[in-house]
Chain A
Amino acid sequence: MHKVYTNIIQIAGDVIIVEAEGVGYADIAEVATSRGTSLAQVISLDGKKVSLQVFAGSRGISTKDKVRFLNHPMQVASGDALLGRIFSASGLPLDKGPKLSENLIDTGGPSVNPVKRIIPDKMIRTGIPMIDVFNSLVESQKLPIFSIAGEPYNDLLARIAIQAEVDIIILGGMGLKYDDYLFFRDTLSEKGALSRSILFIHTAADPVVECLLVPDISLAIAENFALKGKRVLVLLTDMTNFCDALKEISITMEQVPSNRGYPGDLYSQLALRYEKAVDFEGAGSITILAATTMPGDDVTHPVPDNTGYITEGQFYLKGGVIEPFGSLSRLKQQVNGKTRLDHRTLMDTMIQLFANYRLTLEKQAMGFKMSPWDIKLLKYGGLFEKELMSLSVNIPLEKALDLGWRILADCFTPEETGIKRSVIEAYWPNGKD
């Protein structure tokens, strides 16, 4: 029923140009080659010349191949049937389940009217003290995990996915190693979280451009569920791969690059996705956690830099732990005043003391003599790192706060902590345990 075009006049990079009429910008087409069928999206129109980015890559496309325009933007099936399923970036099943094509919704929908947003105020508990106590995650927050390649960011995402108190988890993998994909799948199913999860997996072996679809699909489905009142957590890993795919396409399209080859609209492209995080008044919410690897541990690299300007803080994963300095949850003030009275005081005090501990470490490394106070700080720092900072620690917030008090009492006198007397009286452990 759709007209088929066979006059491909240019193939460069993963972009093909075909001569066609009556095509809409950003519409989807199917390119049928001898090697299979791939989806493609219109990225520019110039008279009869239609540029298409081919998600499966242009390798093996012949100028005589068939292009069929579907006359609609990218669509994806939605609804409860998706739960527990695993799909590829273009929406094909990767598990043994059936192909879904019901309740199709458009991806990349319009943005939310700012006046319909509400100030977020619900904490998401994760069981990780470095998050719950020091940088609380808040419903509808968008937070990246900045880390260098090789850090256990996928393990962290998987743990948060399993433990976070949300209704639905959507995992969008971009350029994922195959074993990382298996790790996510197996971990979620072992812990019984798979039934409330939906996975969109693009592996490193898949065509690069295809990963551009992952955030849009994941977020469109998240939005669909959120409007039905569900609290959705979207995990994206790794957004740097997404940005690199954008770079590739823009260079192919001969766009002028702005910074290190990335396109000038990188900020807008990222914002368009991250800003989907929202708390709908009277309905559900979308929270986004996204792994962003920093090439060369450089936070000024265009990807982490632009991300940082968009997101509401960041978790900074370094040396296998969430680094207390450099990590920030901009929304924590909205929730940590309502958890327990001592939460903020304890958080501030412990971080200040930990900063002092870091200074002492420097002093020690330079061979200065350790004062009694330095020795106390060293003990404190050691306990803090072992009992709170380690990612293997898994305790609820209240337990973590109690543990914090115990560590303080083990190392210092109440006066040394500088905490207000009224708080000390209420919370300082009196040696019974």
Chain B
Amino acid sequence: MNNIRTGYISRVNGNMVSANVEGAVVQNETAYILHKNERLKSEVIRVRGQLAQMQVYESTSGLGVGDKVEFTNELISVELGPGLLGQIFDGLQNPLPALAQKYGFFLKRGIYLEALSDKVKWDFTPLASLGDRVISGFRLGSVPEKIFKHYCMVPFNLKGVWEVVYIVPAGEYTVKEKIAQLKNEEGKICDVYLRQFWPIKIPIKAFAEKLKPSQALVTKMRLIDSLFPVARGGTYCIPGPFGAGKTVLQQLTSRHAQVDIVIIAACGERAGEVVETLKTFPNIVDPRTNKPLSDRTVIICNTSSMPVAARESSVYTAVTIAEYYRQMGLNVLLLADSTSRWAQAMREMSGRLEEIPGEEAFPAYLESRIASFYERAGLVRLHSGDLGSVTIGGTVSPAGGNFEEPVTQATLKVVGAFHGLSRERSDARKYPAIDPLISWSKYQSFIKEADRQLGHKVLIKSNNIMQMMKVIGEEGTSLQDYVDYLKGEFFDSVYLQQNAFDSVDEATSQERQEYIFGFIRGILEGNFDFKEKNQALQFFQKLKQLFKGWNSTEFNLEEFRKIEEELDILIEGNKKGSA
């Protein structure tokens, strides 16, 4: 069954190649096109009789009718094992630094390196003993990888119960050395290595149960955490027009989010942005671990000029690695930038397959593909009893900035939170440019629900009054309405917006958010004693200025307390009933 079958190319159309095959063809199996001395990787995506249609993960120029194709019977897979952290891969898990070292500036086609180096020795400690009865995902031993305990697990594809019949003693092993041997009731033997392979388009399911995401994932972005929270194991999306700051938002999230591991999938975006992450992460120290950020990051990088089919697979490669670390009881955050490019890759291929198009020429299965991708997120209880999670945050780049387009709409149906970026807010240099009037979240914030709703109500009211004021002018607005408008403006500018260039203000802890929100509630609900509009305006301007200073002082230090007192005095002095 494992024998390699061959075929010959009969059609070439862009990155889609059709071949006549002798013998059976497996849907989604990997095939290699042999052209001169090159071997180009491709995947079977449709079978019609003896005709296999394949998407090629490389440029197809020069390929001709009659070129030989080898079919491998293996689905497109990734290597999972110690050594992934800190790495930079392309969409097919080729290690880019190693490629650069060997081949220089350009990505030559047809060159594939192993994702994990077999030179590195890992310090293995066995956890299982002879005679143990184990199932897939069971921890046989561990190796230290960066700051984590990297568990070596029973291969995820094993079914039923197996018995440990051999395990190596503690010591140093490479990913290719056998560390254990398992036997099942039928007497079948399975060798276990530090690494294993897994097909990227199939979710890893070696866990006991999937749970409802309930705990907030703190991103330290006040607007997100307080009003539109993300849950551990949940999903969210960030649609926005170009230039609205999607990538900056993703970059800051990847730095501050309270998770163990961040997987960044740069899918079809600018190479320049990835370069910034690549070059800066090794130099930024994670305050929680005192280690470089790159130590807990894996970057999957298939930028816009790299082959389109590999772009399609890059998000799957990323989510598979995320699921793998989840199996160790870790909280993983996957940031995909941008899912629209992934959807476009599907569209391109669908067009070449001459499928009947859906809206804006996207294939009819766009929605189900997007849904099943986001469904790979989740909070799970492992067989060991530990909890692990994969949270997925995807940016969407809607054509023309119009959220009515198919990718945004299909994504909104399946995610748990929506952070919509608006051009107006980014043009006004408001950061983050998430529009609080259109965004939503189905997850529970650590801010009390009643308070959260209060904040939201103030914003809506303020916006309504502002719209009205544009028509009737400031003169025609009542003092009460004017104050309500100022309250919303104030809340927006001192709480929802953050200064990304201020070392304190760029990230706000949960504790501080709860405290400040409580303080602001007093102002939003406060009854103030203003004689006229200008007095109200001046009061809020002063308040704003003080508050911004407050935002950039360290929490609970003397300076913080001092400003708080000043604020208290200012507020009390203007409340109704005060002298």
Binding site for B on A (CB under 8 A): 21-27, 44-48, 73, 108-120, 227, 255-259, 263-265, 267-268, 271-272, 274-276, 280, 300-302, 305-306, 308-310, 312-313, 325, 328, 330-331
CA distance A227 to B88 in the complex (A): 24
Of listed B106, B109, B354, residue having the most chain A CB within 10 A: B106
User: Which B273-288 residues have a C-beta within 8 angstroms of A?
Assistant: 274-276, 278-279
Residues of A within 8 A of B241 (CB): 308
Of the listed residues B64, B65, B268, B272, the one surrounded by the most CB atoms of chain A closer than 10 A to its CB is B272
**Chain B 80-101 against A: per-residue CB contact (8 Å), 1 yes, 0 no?**
0000000010000000110110
Chain B residues, Cβ within 8 Å of A120: 272
Chain A contacts of B64 at CB under 8 A?
A: 22-25, 45
Please state if A325 and B306 are interface contacts (CB–CB under 8 Å).
no
Bound CA–CA A347/B243 (angstroms) = 19
C-alpha gap A308/B59 in the complex (Å): 25
- Chain A residue nearest to B426 in the complex (CB): A328
Query: Which of B373-381, B394-402, B450-458 is the interface stretch?
Result: B394-402
Would you call A21 and B65 a contact (CB within 8 A)?
A: yes
Interface contact A268-B304, CB-CB below 8 Å: yes
Tell whether A275 pairs with B427 under 8 Å between CB atoms, given A27-B62, A45-B13: no
Nearest chain A residue, comparing its CB with the CB of B274:
A114
B242 part of interface (Cβ distance < 8 Å): yes
B361 within 8 Å of A by Cβ?
Answer: yes
Residues of B within 8 A of A27 (CB): 61-62
When C-beta atoms are compared, the residue in chain A nearest to B64 turns out to be A24
Q: Which residue of A lies closest to B306 (CB)?
A: A111
6 further interface pairs, Cβ-Cβ under 8 Å (given A48-B65, A115-B278, A259-B399):
A21-B66, A73-B62, A114-B274, A116-B104, A117-B271, A265-B14
Q: Which residue of A lies closest to B269 (CB)?
A: A309
B68 to chain A, nearest CB (A): 14
Majority SS at the chain B contact face: mixed
A300/B304 contact (C-beta < 8 A), A114-B278, A119-B279, A264-B347 known: no
Q: B171 at the A/B interface (Cβ < 8 Å)?
A: no
Q: Are B275 and A118 in contact (CB under 8 A)?
A: yes
Residues of B within 8 A of A (CB): 9-14, 59-66, 88, 96-97, 99-100, 103-109, 241-243, 268, 270-272, 274-276, 278-279, 301, 303-306, 308, 341, 344, 347-348, 351, 354, 357, 360-362, 397, 399-402, 427
Q: Which of B60, B305, B400 interacts with A26 by CB under 8 Å?
A: B60
Give the number of residue pairs across the A-B interface with Cβ within 8 Å: 165
Output the least CB separation between B239 and chain A (Å).
13
| Interface contact B106-A268, CB-CB below 8 Å | no
Q: Which of B9, B14, B105, B243 contacts A116 (CB 8 A)?
A: B105
Most B Cβ at <10 Å: residue of A21, A44, A117, A272: A117
Residues of A within 8 A of B243 (CB): 308, 313, 328, 330
- A110 partner, pick from B66, B97, B109, B279, beta carbons under 8 A: B109
B-side contacts of A258, CB under 8 Å: 347, 360-362
With A and B bound together, what is the CA distance between A313 and B9 in angstroms?
42
The 8 Å CB contact of A280, one of B62, B105, B279, is B105
Minimum CB–CB distance for A241 against chain B, Å: 21
Min distance, Cβ B306 to any Cβ of chain A, angstroms: 6
CA distance A274 to B109 in the complex (A): 20
* Nearest CB of A to B320, in Å: 21
Q: Report the minimal beta-carbon distance from A326 to chain B, rounded to whole angstroms.
A: 8
The reply to whether B106 and A256 contact each other, CB–CB distance below 8 Å, is no
Complex: how many Å from CA A265 to CA B14?
Answer: 11
Contact B108 A110 (CB under 8 A): yes
Contact B305 A272 (CB under 8 A): yes
Given contacts A24-B63, A47-B65, A48-B65, contact A114 B105 (CB under 8 A): no
CB distance from B413 to the nearest CB of A (A): 21
Interface pairs A-B: 6 shortest CB-CB:
A300-B400, A271-B304, A275-B305, A26-B61, A258-B361, A111-B305
- B108 cross-chain contacts in A, Cβ below 8 A: 110
How distant is the Cα of A306 from the Cα of B400 in the complex, in angstroms?
Answer: 8
User: Are the C-beta atoms of B12 and A256 separated by less than 8 Å?
Assistant: no
Q: How far is the CB of A83 from chain B (nearest CB, A)?
A: 23
Closest to A276 in B: B305
A24 & B351 in contact (Cβ 8 Å cutoff): no
**Closest-CB distance, B56 to chain A (whole angstroms):** 10
* Complex-state Cα separation, A114 to B274, whole angstroms: 7
Q: Which residue of A lies closest to B99 (CB)?
A: A113
- A328: chain B residues within 8 A (beta carbon): 243
Q: Which of chain B's residues have a CB closer than 8 A to the CB of A119?
A: 275-276, 279
Q: Are A265 and B308 in contact (CB under 8 A)?
A: yes
Q: How far is the CB of A207 from chain B (nearest CB, A)?
A: 23
A271-B267 Cα distance, complex, nearest whole Å: 13
Contact indicator A110/B100 (Cβ below 8 Å): no
How distant is the Cα of A372 from the Cα of B13 in the complex, in angstroms?
68
Contacts of A109 in B (CB 8 A): 106
- Across the interface, name the chain A residue whose C-beta is closest to B355: A256
Closest to B427 in A: A325
- The contact of A25 among B60, B105, B305, by CB within 8 Å, is B60
Chain B minimum-CB-distance residue to A120: B272
Show 25 residue pairs from A and B whose CB-CB distance is below 8 angstroms, ordered by the A residue. Answer: A23-B65, A24-B61, A26-B60, A44-B14, A45-B65, A46-B10, A46-B11, A73-B61, A110-B59, A111-B303, A115-B275, A117-B272, A118-B275, A259-B399, A263-B351, A264-B347, A264-B348, A265-B308, A268-B344, A275-B303, A300-B400, A305-B242, A308-B243, A310-B304, A330-B243
B61: A residues at CB distance < 8 A: 24-27, 73, 108
Q: Please tell me if the beta carbons of B275 and A114 are within 8 angstroms of each other in the complex.
A: yes
A334 (CB) vs chain B CBs: closest residue: B276
The answer to whether B242 and A308 touch across the interface, beta carbons within 8 angstroms, is yes
Shortest A266–chain B CB gap in Å is 9
Question: Which one of A25, A267, A300 has the greatest number of beta carbons of chain B within 10 Å?
Answer: A25
Residue on B with the closest CB to A26? B61
When distances are taken between beta carbons in the complex, the residues of chain A under 8 Å from B14 are: 44, 265
CB distance from A263 to the nearest CB of B (A): 8
Q: Bound complex: CA of A23 vs CA of B62, how far in Å? A: 8
Are A259 and B106 neighbours in the complex by a CB distance under 8 Å? no
Q: Among A114, A119, A272, A309, find the residue whose CB has the most chain B CB atoms closer than 10 A.
A: A114
Q: Could you say which residues of chain A place their CB within 8 Å of the CB of B360? A: 258-259
Residues of B within 8 A of A267 (CB): 268, 304, 341, 344
CB distance from B230 to the nearest CB of A (A): 24
Distance between Cα atoms of A46 and B306 in the complex (Å): 25
- Can you name the residue of chain B whose Cβ is closest to the Cβ of A277? B272
Which of B103, B362, B399 has the most chain A CB atoms inside 10 A of its CB? B399
The answer on a CB contact under 8 Å between A115 and B304 is no
Of the listed residues B12, B66, B308, the one surrounded by the most CB atoms of chain A closer than 10 A to its CB is B12
Contact check, B397 vs A113: say whether CB atoms are below 8 A apart.
no
B100 touches A116 (CB 8 A): yes
Instruction: Kindly identify which residue among B66, B103, B279, B361 contacts A256, using a CB–CB cutoff of 8 Å.
Output: B361
A45 contacts B12, C-beta separation under 8 Å: yes
- Looking at the assembled complex, report how far the CB atom of B270 sits from the nearest CB atom of chain A, in whole angstroms: 7
A340 to B416, CA, bound (A): 47
Docked-complex contact A112 and B304, CB < 8 angstroms: no
Query: When A25-B12, A265-B308, A310-B270 are in contact, do A113 and B303 touch as well, CB less than 8 Å?
Result: no
A271 CB contact (under 8 Å) in B65, B242, B278, B305: B305
